[in-house]
Chain A
Amino acid sequence: MDLATSYLGLELKGPLIVGASPIGDRQEVAQRAVDAGAAAIVLRSLFEEQLTAEAQHLRRASDDFHFAEAKSVLPEPADAVFGPDQYLAHIARLKRATGVPIIASLNGTTASGWLRYAVECQQAGADALELNVYQLGSDPERTAENIEAEVLQMVLQVKASITIPVTVKLSPFFTSLGNLLVRLEEAGANGFVLFNRLYQPDIDAEELEVSHQLELSTSAELPLRLRWLALLSPRLSGSLACSGGVHTGLDAVKALMAGAHVVQVVSAVLRHGPSRFGDLLAELRSFLERHEYPSLAALRGSMSVSRCPDPRAFERQGYQRVLASYRDPIAPA
């Protein structure tokens, strides 16, 4: 069974890729993922403000104490400490070693920062760029329009400065997601990653603290992605990646059926190790064979709103039906 697929214009040997995460940090781990079948690697996001803050912190840590006996208390940091050099070098190194496309990921706050690092990622050999948009919309002064305009502006500028494909990773919390994606595509976005799993702080009720534990995803998070992939894939011409909630081969099958070109896997690998890619691919392959799909392409988008038997199920009507069909466990039989 040929699982080859195309994503952002890149020819991939299969539809499962490593999502932005620490998995791409270490060459040896990334290699094991590729050996197990990962067809591309999205690197961990480069955070511009983190780079700036760290540079300031490290410089000051080594520079800020002046006593008679000591001009500083830490060694002079090497140049590389202050910039994304290591990240860029890692792109090239990983590309050479694994042979699969490497997708860099940027999480920026200012347009100028994005642009600079986008160009550098391209120069370092990245095959594509994933722009990670992390907008909470908590500022009462900023309208939805402001936020969307800013995202559009970033995509326009980045596209104007680099030639490699650009995909945008978004959260599901935009007011009119369909409209935004269409406009982003017009602005030049080559694809979308649905969705960013916004970090969700928890509350420690005993210690009265906000807890910062990063929870791995579960399959329960998948349906949100399935709905939007199914709704939007027929209306977008670019590549779509499903990110979040794919833990089994069947999860991957559903994401592809909803219209995803590729499935990004992170939590399942962090839980079970890079070999998980092999398991997922085997399950996917087995499904395709069992159900006699001639190719992966035949399956892709088969359950999107344009092809599924009951498109209303993805829309508002589905909600009414679910409520009506719900059996109240405490109602008299």
Chain B
Amino acid sequence: MDGNDAVASVAYRLNEVIAIYPITPASSMGELSDAWAAAGRKNLLGGVPSVVEMQSEGGAAGTVHGALQAGALTTTFTSSQGLLLMLPNMFKIAGELTPVCIHVAARTIATHALSIFGDHSDVMACRSAGFAMLCSASVQEAHDFALVAQMASLESRIPFLHFFDGFRTSHELSTITTLSDDDLCALMPWSAVDAHRARALTPDRPVARGTTHNPDTYFQAREAVNSFYDACPEVVAQCFARLAERTGRRYASVEYFGHPEARDVIVVMGSASQVVREVVAGASARGERVGGLVVRLYRPFPSAEFLAALPATVQRIAVLDRTKEPGAPAEPLHLDCATVLAESGRGVDVIGGRYGLSSKEFTPESVQAVLAETGSARPKRRFTVGIVDDVTHLSLPVAEHVPRAEEDTWCAVLYGLGSDGTVSASKSSCQIVTSETHRSAQGYFVYDSKKAGAVTISHLRFGHRPIERPYLIRDADLVACHFAGLLDKIDVLAVARQGATFLLNTPVAPERVFGSLPLDVQEQILQKRLTLWSIDADQIARDSGLGRHISTIMQVCFFALSDLVADEQAQSAIRSSLAKSYGKRGEAVIRQNEQAIAAARAALVRVPVPDAITTGTAKRPPVPEHAPEFVRRVTAALMAGQGERLPVSAFPVDGTWPTDTARWEKRGLASEIPVWDAGICIQCNKCTFVCPHAAIRAKAYPESERARLPADFPQVKWRGTELGEHQYTLQVAPEDCTGCGLCVAVCPAKDKSNPRHKAIDMTLAEPLLAQERDRFERFLAIEPLSRASLPRDVKHVQLLEPLFEFSGACAGCGETPYIKLLTQLFGDRLYIANATGCSSIYGGNLPTSPYSTDRAGRGPTWANSLFEDNAEFGLGFRLAVDVHQERAALLLRELGAALPERLVTELLAATQDDEQGILQQRARVVELRALLAARPEPKAAALASVCDYLVKKSVWLVGGDGWAYDIGFGGLDHVLASRHDVNILVLDTEVYSNTGGQQSKATPVGAAAKFASAGKETGKKDLGLIAMSYGHAYVARVAFGAKDAQTVRAFVEAEAHPGPSLIVAYSHCIAHGYDLVHGCAQQKLAVDSGVWPLYRFDPRRAQDAQPPLALDSSGPKATVREYMRGEARFLMVERADPERFERLTRRAERQAKERVLLYQQLSELSVGPKR
């Protein structure tokens, strides 16, 4: 099990109320609790815990606080920003001496950037809250301490924050000894539970809590808790002792390890202590007088235990903190240790450093570097380790890793894709090895930040003793590459040890495999004397009816090459594992896999390796020579996986990054790309509209451009009449396409004689890459038409340049076409405030930015604040822009006499209602700027600095339904209630997509989602209707797959509306459970069935005594059932419980009908003109 499983399994059994909210990397603790509760699993008290998903962590904390006050055993799980939202309640809970244990997968707090990875910055921000803080260093500890923390909390009345390293511990798969129900029962302090209940608020013994104090009392009352904190370390020690007595596993609040007469000691918390332990064990065995000290109980700081644990011989300690407190004299653990030692008069020198921020690897070499520094004559008083700081020179030099086989373990590193099942199969392999051989297993999985074509790297260790190596494998015995295309992008063999085995899945015949490898791969195979094996797993998968699912096949190969489990035994275990995965009903599926399993073993072959390099080709450089300097220096390194090597000086100091960089990241994901047949194409541009990655584009251009294009450049006469004589080209970006096929699915133009052939067809990419790459370059060079010349309809809007391209969104994403449209319509004057979620990840996760610029260098400017505050954040943009505009207008008036009257008047009076108006205003600003440059007055310079704001700006607040319906609803509602001119785009996937499909209030009735696994009972919140109720907000509900013209119209109207606007946009998503190539068809069914009626509510229409609401979809043309049957999220409910499905479907049908009727009535409702 992983750390989250280990914690949840204890917390679930010990608690009665669990209030949750998803946040990485803590989400799965809540998900498991919910799934167990849904399955009726009981806690130790014999009841099923009440698991409730709240609208935010703030809400969860409030619920926890309330449940505790009313006497229930209560818990929650969270991380990072979520923990910060809980902070106000935590102070209250602690002030009231309320026993509770909150479990935290510790994660970085967003500062200059968001990071989902692990460090202690979140928990350290809570150290003043009054919670005790207990830190686990491993999955086993996380499991055990989940119990100890709750025991100690109940006994001490101090609330506990139990934390462990996000990802490193929360997501590490580890073989542990679990606590049985009997263990928990025996160890829980039941009398303290009774005491907790006895303190519950009840009208039968009424008391008041949460009173308000005055200066006369607050201070003294606050000091009344002191004795409880004083007693707490001893309570923890006793709890540890009881655990040891029952299980044999001994822990202490502070534990020393190493040389008994150590001079130099590293003090550390969390998983890093295991690395320190490993290095110190080796060093002290060699007689080096070094040691390590792990602090497990951080608050209340166990001063006495700390002093007692530290050998008397110690002269200097280096305290390592996994957090950063800018401006502090030292980091928190360092300060605590220094204070305790100073008061003790021990004369120990204390130095300290930061390590491991945002899951930065903490390796044995890092520990050696710290020990070397600690033992040196004049060490750095403050340092960092694990990075190169070439600016403030705080970093310690860390030696390069010297390759050697790991002692006691057998290691494998498997490279796969997020969608090929490699991670699931790796987890299953760990399970098989553990159960079949009683070895310990460790699995850790590294993911990239892209969603389409995401690479996964599975690090698996196996050994006969518990594995305590919380760092990535560097010396693998087996390296497997499940997708040959990765060899061109990643240095897959860097982790292979000398003499290791290399397994490659490739369609190339064995005798040609070596010759097909890139130069550096061939070199490494020869240098490291690797044994090379190959298999064509994709072919076997296709032949066995498994489609593109190769994981079982690769798993068979893994066991065949690993010697961990005998072949036959492994295959039978794989079958059992499949049976487990498919439940007791999996026989049919397993039968289907049998063929693949048998074929896999037969098809795995050893590839002959020649003595020398053959015809291997070198990798292409990550970016071309003509890329911008920053891209070549920084972005290219990140793209090549070399970001770790970049020094501090390479980075912006304030988190400001250039946009327009995704175009340098040629990922080449698609095995098939669309190819255009100009003869059939009707130039509707629907393909470019739906493309989630802006990888298929259309341009119309004057005949004159033709001369600059090669003779074979595909083009055809433009069919429209609006532009006059023009040529037209539809072009794919072959290395940016993800091969989702949405464009082909939506293409309406078929060859009349061979309707299987459309105006675009998916075609094997490889033979076309060079040609299409060249054509795309030439296509980009064609001058775009003037923005003012193009009508705002689907066809012509797609001739506008998209300023959002090649994002990391999923293949077939239903959100990105909306964002792309936004940039086509308003991109050169667009502000985007982006709520955290999928759109902030594909929109803002390094290494590149998908937001791009036009030829004038203008483009969307983008920022993400938080998940919960995006509406407020975006409103801030608007207010600032308004301030700048007003200042520009004021200065213009003040300088008026010195400027041409016509220009001033026109600048101030320009309505900028359309693109022509914007263009004219831009021209005026150019003229103004030139005039100002010649003026001596200070006000002229001031006006020059703000005159660009005289051109209208478009402010958009973008985010998903988790933000808009749940955590950010309060702010969104407030902004809608204002009259400020902001536009809100809600990309509604009806679940929290980014954190893994948890239900939101946008989830429709009948859909299975996490936290609603049996199918959601209640209907979707009607956000649009709420917004309409204000009367002054523009509101639209759109679904581009159903009616793209209505989508375009809504965007244009929303932007033009002078007050707040809201667009709720249907976004198909992988979390709906179907092949997204059918995304548009499902959108159409959603609209045709009445599940997603399309409308536009425009308050301006009321001015003309028209009904403000215009319904844009007609009555039902399809059934709700038809729509629901197309998606696994509904189908799952039907298959699990048909009666329930029936009931929920009927409810969905009724609600759809009622909603359409309501909208129909509203669309006929008009009152007289306001004037």
* Interface, chain A (partner B; CB < 8 A): 25-26, 48, 51-52, 54-86, 90, 110, 112-113, 116, 208-209
Contact = CB atoms under 8 A, between A and B. Distances in A.
B1136 A78 contact: yes
Given A52-B588, A80-B583, 16 more contacts: A58-B1131, A63-B581, A65-B418, A70-B996, A71-B423, A73-B997, A73-B1069, A74-B997, A75-B997, A78-B1136, A79-B585, A82-B585, A82-B586, A82-B1135, A112-B591, A116-B587
Contacts of B841: 69
A80 B752 contact: no
Interface in B568-601: 581-589, 591-592
B1129 A74 contact: yes
Given A58-B1135, A79-B585, A70 B994 contact: yes
A29 to B, nearest CB: 11
Contacts of B1131: 54, 58
B1138 interface: yes
Contacts of A68: 24, 116, 167, 447-449
Nearest to A113: B588
Closest 10 A/B residue pairs (Cβ): A83-B585, A70-B996, A79-B583, A61-B1073, A75-B1013, A208-B755, A61-B1128, A68-B447, A82-B585, A73-B1071
B1132 A75 contact: yes
Interface of B: 24-25, 27-28, 31, 35, 116, 167, 418-419, 421-424, 445, 447-449, 451, 454, 456, 546, 549, 581-589, 591-592, 750, 752, 755, 810, 841, 991, 993-997, 1008-1010, 1012-1013, 1069-1071, 1073-1074, 1128-1129, 1131-1132, 1135-1138, 1142
Residues of B contacting A: mostly: mixed
B583 A64 contact: no
Contacts of A57: 1073, 1128
Contact of B1136 (A56, A64, A77, A113): A77
B1135 A86 contact: yes
A76 B1013 contact: yes
A69 B24 contact: yes
A23 to B, nearest CB: 14
Contact of B582 (A25, A26, A55, A71): A55
A133 B994 CA distance: 46
Most buried by B among A59, A79, A112: A59
B996 A73 contact: yes
Nearest to B586: A82
B1136 A75 contact: no
Contacts of B418: 65-67
B580 to A, nearest CB: 10
Most buried by B among A48, A78, A84: A78
Contacts of A81: 583, 585, 1132, 1135-1136
Contacts, number: 161
A48 B586 CA distance: 12
Contacts of A84: 585
Nearest to A84: B585
B994 A80 contact: no
Given A80-B1136, A82-B582, A75 B424 contact: no
B1004 to A, nearest CB: 14
21 contacts: A58-B1132, A59-B589, A62-B1073, A62-B1128, A64-B421, A66-B424, A66-B454, A67-B418, A67-B454, A70-B27, A72-B997, A73-B993, A73-B996, A75-B1013, A78-B1137, A80-B583, A82-B582, A83-B583, A85-B585, A112-B591, A209-B755
Contacts of A65: 418-419, 810, 1070
Most buried by B among A74, A79, A110: A74
B588 A77 contact: no
A59 B997 contact: no
Contacts of A209: 755
A74 B1071 contact: yes
A113 B1138 CA distance: 23
A79 B449 CA distance: 32
Contacts of A79: 583-585
A205 to B, nearest CB: 10
Most buried by B among A51, A54, A67, A90: A67
Most buried by B among A25, A83, A110, A112: A83
B485 to A, nearest CB: 18
Contact of B1008 (A64, A71, A75, A90): A75
B421 A63 contact: yes
Given A66-B424, A82-B582, A208 B752 contact: yes
A43 B116 CA distance: 51
A289 B387 CA distance: 99
B586 A55 contact: yes
Given A58-B1132, A58-B1135, A90-B1138, A67 B447 contact: yes
Contacts of A116: 587
Contact of A66 (B447, B993, B1069): B447
B255 to A, nearest CB: 31
Contacts of B546: 56
Given A61-B1073, A74-B1132, A56 B589 contact: yes
B1135 A80 contact: yes
Nearest to A79: B583
Nearest to A60: B549
A70 B1071 CA distance: 11
Contact of B1128 (A58, A66, A110): A58
A74 B1128 contact: yes
Contacts of B1010: 74-75
B281 to A, nearest CB: 32
Contacts of B447: 66-68
Contacts of B167: 68
Contacts of A55: 582, 585-586, 588-589
Nearest to A78: B1136
Contacts of A67: 418, 447, 451, 454, 996
B1142 A26 contact: yes
A227 B585 CA distance: 43
Contacts of B585: 55, 79-85
Contacts of A26: 1142
A76 B994 CA distance: 17
A72 B423 CA distance: 11
Contact of B1132 (A56, A77, A83, A86): A77
B1135 A75 contact: no
A182 B582 CA distance: 41
A162 to B, nearest CB: 18
A293 to B, nearest CB: 42
A90 B25 CA distance: 41
A74 B1009 contact: yes
Contacts of B454: 66-67
A74 B999 CA distance: 10
A288 to B, nearest CB: 38
A86 B997 contact: no
Nearest to B34: A75
Nearest to A52: B588
Contacts of B589: 52, 55-56, 59, 82
A321 B1141 CA distance: 56
A76 B581 CA distance: 10
Contacts of A48: 588
A72 B1129 CA distance: 13
Contacts of B587: 116
A208 B750 CA distance: 8
B1129 to A, nearest CB: 6
Contacts of A110: 591
Contact of A75 (B35, B419, B586): B35
A209 B418 CA distance: 34
A61 B24 CA distance: 21
Most buried by B among A48, A69, A209: A69
A82 B586 CA distance: 6
Most buried by B among A51, A90, A208: A208
Contacts of B994: 69-70
Contacts of A112: 591
